[in-house]
A and B are shown apart, each in its own frame.
Chain A
Amino acid sequence: MTSQPTAMARILSLALTAFIMMIAAVSFPFLTLDAGGLHNATSVIDAVLAFNDGLAIPLAVAVAFFIMVIPLIRLAALIYALGPLVREAPARPGARKAFGLAERLRPWSMAEIFIVGVTVALIKVAGLAAVTIGPAFWAFAGVVIITVLKDQLICRYSIWEALDQSAG
């Protein structure tokens, strides 16, 4: 068992790490394809923009939320709510709302599903062309692993209690 202050500090540091890595995962090239002298580099944003015509535009928005926006909102809300608790300072205004939001958005955060989808896609094109894995792919995979570790450390009832006690 991890003691509560240690667990809080760990959750916070993992959330900060995941947040920074997520920004890297969105900015750098994700995958590069080479075939017959042609070259195409893809970022996570390009994957979202794949659904860019007509009826599919709402899907582009949904995919953007599932794989980037919602994971980032969850991490930001958690950092906002738990930050002062680790320093034993009074909770920030709206800290409980932020933590409630992070908990409610959990099923809609689909970064881990995206990375499995990418693996399937890689195997589908492997025979067709040479695919190079870019730095963003590793950053994204890192975000997924860190998020799993972080969610395992979260005991929502202890956090609610800690938020209650430090309410200013």
Chain B
Amino acid sequence: MQVFDLGSTGPVSGLITAREAGLVACQRCGQVHKRDAHYCKRCEGALQSRDAESLQKVWAWLIAGMIAYIPANLYPMLLTSTLVERSESTIIGGVWELIHHGSIGIAIIVFVASVMIPIGKFVAIIYLAVTVQQRSGTHQHGRHKAYEIVEFIGRWSMIDVFVVAILSALVQLNTIATINPGIAAVSFALSVIFTMLSAQSFDARLIWDADRTAG
């Protein structure tokens, strides 16, 4: 088997795509078929040489995810009531509380998972979609890496939803202290699900194509 240099930027001479060879590869199991095949013989998945609607789906899910992220930050995640007080805390409020308790490490985990990863993901998906639309051939390898990172890391944003779930189930001590989930938990979960779907709709093969037409 020939090994190609995937580390270089720009077109690698001698490297051909399945599409150029008149073939179509299954994105799920890697089996190649003739161009006119519609279903994979091996795993029975649908075959598509390039997903023409890929970018439309990416933008649609991304915008939905960004819209859902706004109420997720404005409304409370947790409703805490104790004997003396009732309080509501948002995502950022929860991070502040952790810092005041002195749990800096945990505060960083929550901040990274609930603020930095979602926002970083929005930016990364916008960058990938825009550069593919402009058929940019630069930083090809970097963009494939960015795509993989976005796909791998996005799901970790769910941490905060699970924190809310376990806290609300655990802290149910009648009058002394109860914790209940706020509406922001729902919109935050929706935001994570939408951006995961956005990343999954992105046809990474478009990054290679852009390079070929550009130079």
Contact = CB atoms under 8 A, between A and B. Distances in A.
Contact of B162 (A33, A103, A113): A113
Interface of A: 31, 33, 35-36, 38, 40, 42, 46-51, 55-56, 58-59, 62-63, 66-67, 96-97, 99-100, 103-104, 107-108, 110, 113-114, 116-118, 120-121, 123-125, 127-129, 131, 156-157, 160, 163-164
B31 A124 contact: no
Contact of B169 (A36, A38, A42, A131): A42
A160 B31 contact: yes
Interface stretch (B2-10, B180-188, B204-212): B180-188
Contacts of B159: 113, 116-117, 120
B166 A100 contact: no
Residue from A31, A40, A99 with most neighbouring chain B CB atoms (10 Å): A40
Contacts of A127: 101
B17 interface: no
Nearest to A118: B166
Nearest to B167: A121
Given A56-B181, A120-B106, A123-B106, 9 more contacts: A38-B174, A46-B169, A50-B168, A51-B168, A59-B185, A120-B109, A120-B159, A121-B166, A160-B30
A96 B183 contact: no
B189 A38 contact: no
Contacts of B163: 117-118, 120-121, 124
A38 B215 CA distance: 71
Contact of A117 (B166, B173, B181): B166
B129 interface: no
Interface string B128-156: 00000000000000000000000100011
7 contacts: A33-B171, A35-B173, A35-B177, A42-B170, A50-B165, A56-B185, A100-B44
A110 B170 contact: no
B170 A121 contact: yes
Given A50-B168, A67-B162, A107-B196, A36 B173 contact: yes
Contacts of B177: 35, 128-129
Contacts of B196: 107-108
A123 B158 contact: no
A151 to B, nearest CB: 12
Contacts of B158: 66, 110, 113, 117
Interface in B85-119: 98, 101, 103, 106, 109-110
- Top 3 A-B pairs ranked by shortest CB distance? A117-B162, A50-B168, A100-B43
Interface string B192-212: 010010001000000000000
B25 interface: no
B42 interface: yes
Contacts of B156: 113, 116
B43 A96 contact: yes
